[in-house]
Structure 1
């Protein structure tokens, strides 16, 4: 989506929300020197355009017992299997992101697990059992020194 429909105020609103999505509309209005109604109208416009898709809570996963983050490169046996494979991967709760990519893999998945044993079970009994997956390569994340949204 091009930002041809966005003006400087829209970008200012998005910048504020990227920093803290819980900022109240009236606070955004004060920061932007406009009325609260203007912020509501702009937010509705950006939602209707599909620019704002919702808001999320960010969890500290290790504090909840999810200590293993990894990325799984997935080889699909043939392109006709792709749709069925993605549908099956979507059913696995440990798969939190799925990316269609260029390069050696067909799909790159982000997987979050509680332990290495949990990861092994997810790989062996869930992911690698999906019909259409030829094989996988797994990369365990040791740390995540950068975690941010894009800055406008």
Structure 2
């Protein structure tokens, strides 16, 4: 897991304001954001490019109501590895499964924790039984099905 040293980043108050505003509304134009922050649209453009080059900003995503598209099952999978040294190999295999949307290397009971989004229970069963179980290095899994997501939000970033 490559991690560029955060100490090399030199971000100022404006950078943090830009990040926060764009996390709240990624569709805002650079000109409108510039007006809101009392700088030019060109300044916003240059700062965003700098943040992208420093890998602080890694893309802009569309927020989608998955339930409206028929994805009714969200599950969290605690994964026990045979050996913790297998993490990278298992993570690479998990990335090949489209329903796996997030994977974390964790402390505690599980070696890894994954989030899976499926259309229905049959698809979840397929992912658990036919996809996860064939990955070398996974000793066993524990599945928790989400009944409801109360909220989801971005962190508030500050200098």
Sort the TM-score into its range (normalised by shorter chain): over 0.9
Query: Which of 70, 82, 86 in structure 2 is aligned with 1:81?
Result: 86
Give, in whole Å, the separation in 1 of the partners of 2:62 and 2:89: 30
Q: Distance in 1 between matches of 2:125 and 2:141?
A: 12
1:22 aligns with one of 10, 27, 39? 27
The correspondence for 1:42, drawn from 38, 43, 47, is 47
Distance 1:124 1:60, change over 3 A: same
1:123 Cα shift?
A: 0.2
Paired residues, what number?
152
Q: Does structure 1 residue 111 correspond to structure 2 residue 116?
A: yes
Q: CA deviation at 1:79?
A: 2.8
Does 1:10 find its partner at 2:15? yes
Give the alignment's Cα RMSD to 1 decimal. 1.4
Which of 75, 81, 88 in structure 2 is aligned with 1:70?
75
Runs of 4+ in 1 over 6 A off after TM superposition: none
- CA apart distance, 1:149: 0.6
SS at the partner of 1:150? coil
CA distances 1:17-49 after superposition (whole Å, capped 9, x unpaired):
111011000001111111111111111111112
Shift of 1:4: 5.6
Choose from 107, 110, 125 the match for 1:102: 107
Gaps of 5+ in 2: 1-5
Further displaced range: 52-61 or 5-14: 5-14
Cα distance in 2, alignment partners of residues 130 and 49 from structure 1: 34
